[in-house]
Amino acid sequence: MSAGPGTPTRQPVGAGSLVAAVEQRLAKFFVTRREILEPLGPVVADTARALEAFVLRGGKRTRPAFAWTGWLGAGKSAEDPQADAVLTACAALELVQAAALIHDDIIDSSRTRRGFPTVHVDYETRHRDGRWAGDPAHYGASIAILIGDLALAWADDMTRGAGLDAGQERRFAPVWSAMRTEVLSGQILDIHGEAGGDESVEAALLINRFKTAAYTIERPLHLGAVLADADDELIAAYREFGTDIGIAFQLRDDLLGVFGDPAVTGKPSGDDLREGKRTVLIAEALSRADVTAPAAAALLRSSLGTDVTPEQVAELRGILTDLGAVDAVEARITDLTDRALTALDASTATADAKRQLRAMALAATARAY
């Protein structure tokens, strides 16, 4: 449970307490927004509370964890005078994540997130229950878009108010800007890929690289490194590690999107099939099916983006497995993870950070279905 506004900011931030430390800083930041929101009235204040609830509802806080570990790995410690400011800046990554998730749920027409209604569905329901004018679905999507925009704007506000020194701000700003551009560009590529029908593995990997890997692991590590004023060699190693683990992480997520347990993923089983996502898994399957099983290729193409039943999901799972696509993605995950860990081992990161990053990498890419 998140701490209240009276919770002291400074605390130990070892692995066991990092999630709590991040959530306390987020909770404190939301309190600072209330003075700005009060003159805008209860409607706006209510949307801010919805964002706060979404952000503080839970999560592994993966992005702040990688950024913080990147900072420690460059030789810094939790006792450093700038530790509090750095951790606050790292915590702001959760607001970028919130913006991406809220917008992604609209784009994918997802109805649930972590076992709760998605933000646009929540506001669609409020509209319908209130018998307000207009279309409930359009209202819900419109409000959710703006709540996502608010999260992205507040992420910037949180970093500016973190207390970074002038040198840290100067090094941090271009990496932060690049990360925001990359994640939005990755989303554009994803939407265009579905509409344009690019079924290649290369296109799917490019989307993974920028929609997920860059802002999940690579850039958070990069941000931690520049906040510590790390040298170019360590930054390059972090980025190599982060790119490979980030893509492997998304590949694992793609498998979970088809084979995952809803109790674990928080989304209906087979949701990626219903959403018509052109993942590496699907690209691998189609490239094989076009050569050896044209009927299976036709069924896959006609099923993607439709409201497939649980029985149809089971049939499509069997096709993906029989074609060897699942094994191909698993092999790619293994290769990417091995490459990343080799780069990490050869880096100048501290021994403690190497151990922590190795554990985080293996947890992010572990088979869980």
Q: Report CA dihedral (300, 301, 307, 311) to the nearest 10 degrees.
A: -10
Mean pLDDT by 10 residues, the chain (369 residues): 31 66 98 94 96 94 97 97 98 98 93 92 98 98 98 98 98 98 95 87 96 96 98 98 98 93 76 89 97 97 94 96 98 98 98 98 86
Length of the chain: 369
Fold of 165-369: Farnesyl Diphosphate Synthase (1.10.600)
User: What is the pLDDT at residue 16?
Assistant: 53
- State both tokens at 58: 């839970």
Contacts 24+ apart (CB under 8 A), 362-368: 362/337, 364/62, 364/217, 364/245, 364/248, 364/249, 364/252, 365/245, 365/248, 365/249, 365/251, 365/252, 365/333, 365/336, 365/337, 366/252, 367/252, 367/330, 368/252, 368/256, 368/260, 368/264
The pTM for the full model equals 0.91
Distances (CA, A) of 77 to 19, 84, 250, 304: 17, 11, 30, 48
Return the domain boundaries, the chain: 1-163, 165-369
Name the DSSP letter for residue 82. Answer: T
DSSP, collapsed to helix, strand or coil, labels residue 112 as strand
User: What is the pLDDT at residue 47?
Assistant: 97
User: 367 — phi, psi (to 5°)?
Assistant: -70, 130
- State both tokens at 277: 């996502």
CATH number for domain 1-163, candidates 1.10.10.370, 1.20.1730.10, 1.10.600.10, 3.30.420.40: 1.10.600.10
At 308, which amino acid appears?
A: V
Name the DSSP letter for residue 132. Answer: -
Could you tell me if 118 and 147 are in contact, meaning their C-beta atoms sit under 8 angstroms apart? no
Which residues, 6+ apart, have CB-to-CB distance to 105 below 8 Å? 113, 118, 119, 120, 144
User: What is the pLDDT at residue 194?
Assistant: 83
User: What is the pLDDT at residue 261?
Assistant: 84
Judge if 1-163 and 165-369 fold alike in CATH terms: yes
- State both tokens at 306: 């439709």
